[in-house]
Amino acid sequence: MTAPCHQVLIVDDDLVLLELMGMILEQLAGGRWKVHTASQAQAALDFLQRHPMDLLVVDVCMPGAGGLALIREAHERYPHLLIAAISGDAPPGREEASLREGAALFLEKPRSGDGWQAIQAMLEERLRLAEETAPPRH
């Protein structure tokens, strides 16, 4: 019996990093994640409307209020969606704002391979916990 495949959407305006994050996290998940990507908040919302996701990972430092606005909108529309905010260099107060807008956790973008493994393991654990308490998906 194979483990369930979690549907994960990663949103970042840095296209190179977005592709890299998607590849690394999908590989580290060992077939348990199907990673999708979007480079803009509106594209992510459009994707979420068409495809149920288990996890949304959002770069909070996208241009304008992009990341925070996306977290807020996704949390309002999909209250059971697990949302993780991520940032390489967040200004002061961004972590608190992310959590206030609906992110379940705030992560720093890792600078090493071991860091990505830790991120994936942490997100995997949060998905497992969310599965235990969430109503079934439709």
pLDDT at 90: 67
Architecture of domain 34-130: 3-Layer(aba) Sandwich (3.40)
CA dist 119 and 86 (Å) reads 10
With residue 92 as reference, give the H or E element that holds it: none
Determine contact, residues 107/101, Cβ cutoff 8 Å: no
Average pLDDT, integer, range 17-29: 93
- Enter the pTM of the model: 0.90
Structure letter (DSSP) for residue 93: T
Nearest CA among 5, 6, 35, 16 for reference residue 109: 16
What's the burial of 106, exposed, middle or buried (CB within 10 Å: 0-12/13-18/19+)?
A: middle
Query: Where do we find the tokens 């996290």?
Result: 25
pLDDT at 92: 80
Q: What are the structural domain ranges in the chain?
A: 34-130
